[in-house]
Chains A and B, each alone.
Chain A
Amino acid sequence: DQQVKQNSPSLSVQEGRISILNCDYTNSMFDYFLWYKKYPAEGPTFLISISSIKDKNEDGRFTVFLNKSAKHLSLHIVPSQPGDSAVYFCAASLNYKLSFGAGTTVTVRA
């Protein structure tokens, strides 16, 4: 069963605007959450993470929000840049093993 879900397969955003990617999970035992960026035929690149005991983590243009009661997290990218066009995966950790969502393809329009 899919414990981590990214319900939006794609997102198109104009350069300079905010990109908001969403992720839902079902297992309340997950204790750490991560976002990865991936290009075709390459391995995922780590972007940002958040512990389950926090509700926000910020790193430059990237901010991750965690709502434990709703089992929901989101990634905000602002401002969006053309180089941000890629597939973004949400991942949740349990005993250091990651479960991935299906990914969201982000396209940043000039």
Chain B
Amino acid sequence: GAVVSQHPSWVICKSGTSVKIECRSLDFQATTMFWYRQFPKQSLMLMATSNEGSKATYEQGVEKDKFLINHASLTLSTLTVTSAHPEDSSFYICSARDLRQGGYEQYFGPGTRLTVT
């Protein structure tokens, strides 16, 4: 149990375009999902918390108008990188809280490699 998927696993887009990344909890319902990004050889940095049925909360320094988050159902959260630029190239990873385990453990998706040319 506690499987999280992400789609796509990698994407290349041109500067100025938008890219949508999907995060799904496959075998449990997740009222809360999280979005992280990881730069090469660095740790995971929390970008935002995605709450089902309400607005996402963003960490300091993360532009909410650039990184749009939608959590329309208990199993799906999406991250849209709008007007992408080369500096947005990164590894984006989502996670979901599994309340069956008490809610502290987060289970991560496999990540999405975004390259903006």
Please give the residue numbers on chain A whose beta carbons come within 8 Å of chain B beta carbons, in ascending order: 32, 34, 36, 41-46, 49, 51, 89, 93, 96-103
Contacts and interface: CB of A to CB of B under 8 A. Distances in A.
Given A41-B111, A43-B111, A98-B34, A49 B44 contact: no
A53 to B, nearest CB: 12
A37 to B, nearest CB: 11
A54 to B, nearest CB: 12
Contacts of A96: 32, 97, 103-104
A92 to B, nearest CB: 11
Contacts of A43: 4, 6, 93, 95, 108-111
B43 A97 contact: no
6 contacts: A41-B91, A43-B6, A89-B43, A89-B44, A96-B103, A98-B44
Q: Using C-beta atoms within 8 Å of the partner chain, give the interface range for chain B.
A: 20 to 34
B99 to A, nearest CB: 10
Q: Is the interface of A mostly helix, strand, loop or mixed?
A: strand
A41 B113 CA distance: 8
Contacts, number: 53
Contacts of A97: 34, 46, 49
B42 interface: yes
A51 B103 CA distance: 12
Given A34-B104, A43-B108, A100 B4 contact: no
B107 A46 contact: yes
A36 B105 CA distance: 10
Nearest to A36: B108
Contacts of B104: 32, 34, 49, 51, 93, 96
A47 B73 CA distance: 28
